[in-house]
Structure 1
Amino acid sequence: MDRAQKAESIETLKGVFAEAGAVVVAHNLGLTVAEMTDLRGRLREQGATFKVVKNRLALKALDGKGGDAVLDLFKGPVGIAYAPDPVSAAKVTSQFAKDNDKFVIVGALMDETVLDAKGVESLSKLPSLDELRAKIVGLVQAPATKVAGVLQAPAGQLARVFGAYAAKDAA
């Protein structure tokens, strides 16, 4: 990798670290190509991405973000999983780590905050952005549905009474 490629990689990683809600760092030593493809497919379904990175380039891209705790994350063969939503990458990687012993979550970065493996596990248990949106829409719609039901009930009863009188007169 020449200097131009390294500079381009650093700029790409700077963009990833700036735009991602959370960046999960994991050791992926010993994973087969099929397992990596499976992980990437699962992440892609959730709008996340997995990328194997060089530690030195990642640390240069971070430019001191996270302090000394970041140095512990980027040791050995690591890959990063990231998405705009802070929860989706953590959910998928945590589930994959439970299914596969060779995939070990080291920690995560959220802006300036460095999380350990337990922090990533806690993050993975939170509802995703789509789940939160669905809950909010449900809460907003519920009162409107109840109000519409209350308003329609008297009109429906009145229509049934008129229908009963019409059926009685016809008989």
Structure 2
Amino acid sequence: MSKAAIAEKEKFVDAFAEELKSAKAILVINYLGLTVEEVTNMRKELRENDVKMKVVKNTYLRRAAAKAGIEGLDDAFVGPTAVVYTDNADDITEPARIVSKYEDDFDVIDIKGGMLEGKLTSKEDIKSLAAIPGREGLLSMLVSVLQAPVRNVAYAVKAVVDSKDESAE
């Protein structure tokens, strides 16, 4: 292999290591068996939610992970592998939610493992995380909970006003 090719591959590994360093959530998946259309749809949905997906050779993954200081995922870098990751700290559940949805819809996708905010995470933990509503869902639930007392007071005041109207008639 030429020195130029080696340098190019090393440059790719360095750039990918930097992306992994800044990632808040990393999932390692096997997507082999999806059609081109299904992979395209999954990538589109990931991209719309500020999540990236890269298919990288396992040797490059191991090197990039080592350069990024990521330990414990080497067992996941076996066979056909794609890495799904985001550096969006606002919603680290999004990659897990999207990949889990596709895993449920298509039997061929397999979550091999991952990391969330620097901590090694099992497939079971990723599936539980996927069940948690996203940031928008949590915010709407919070607004609903905060509105409930005000709404109840409004209903009570309305009931008092209605009962006074009835007694005045």
Measured against the shorter chain, the TM-score band is 0.7 to 0.9
Deviation at 1:145, TM superposition (A): 1.3
Q: Counterpart of 1:33?
A: 36
For 1:110-121, what aligned pairs fall within 5 Å after superposition? 110-121=116-127
Q: 1:88 aligns with which of 91, 94, 104?
A: 94
The runs of 5 or more residues in structure 1 that have no matched partner are 165-171
Partner of 1:11: 15
Q: Structure 1's 161 and 27: CA in aligned 2 closer, same or farther, altered over 3 A?
A: same
Other-structure match for 1:77 = 80
**Gap change, CA 1:64 and 1:47, over 3 Å in 2:** closer
Unpaired stretches in structure 2, ≥5 consecutive residues: none
Cα distance in 1 for residues equivalent to 2:92 and 2:37: 26
Deviates more, 1:32-41 or 1:136-145: 32-41
Amino acid paired to 1:81? V
Paired residues, number: 161
Which of the pair has more CA radius of gyration? 1
1:29-55 per-residue CA deviation (whole Å, 9 max, x = no partner) reads 343211211222343454433222333
Q: Which amino acid in the other structure matches residue 19 of structure 2?
A: G
The sequence identity of aligned pairs, in percent, is 26
Distance 1:36 1:124, change over 3 A: same
Contact 1:18 1:111 in 2 (8 A): no
Alpha-carbon spacing, 1:89–1:64, altered in 2? closer, same or farther (3 Å): closer
1:157 CA drift (Å) = 4.3
Deviates more, 1:53-62 or 1:80-89: 53-62
Supply the distance in 2 between the matched residues of 1:97 and 1:55 (Cα, whole angstroms): 21
SS of alignment partner, residue 133 of structure 1: helix
Q: How does the TM-score come out when normalised to structure 2?
A: 0.74
Distance 2:104 2:82 in 1: 17
Residues in 1 aligned to 2:49 and 2:138: alpha-carbon distance in whole angstroms? 15
User: Structure 1-normalised TM-score?
Assistant: 0.73
1:130 correspondence with 2:136: yes
Letter in 2 for 1:128: G
Q: For residues 86-125 of structure 1, what are the alpha-carbon distances to aligned partners after superposition, in whole Å with 9 as ceiling and x for unaligned? A: 2221122122123323322111111322223222222222
> Residues 60 and 16 from structure 1, CA distance in 2 versus in 1: closer, same or farther, beyond 3 angstroms?
same
Q: In the TM superposition, what is the alpha-carbon distance from 1:4 to its structure 2 partner? A: 5.2
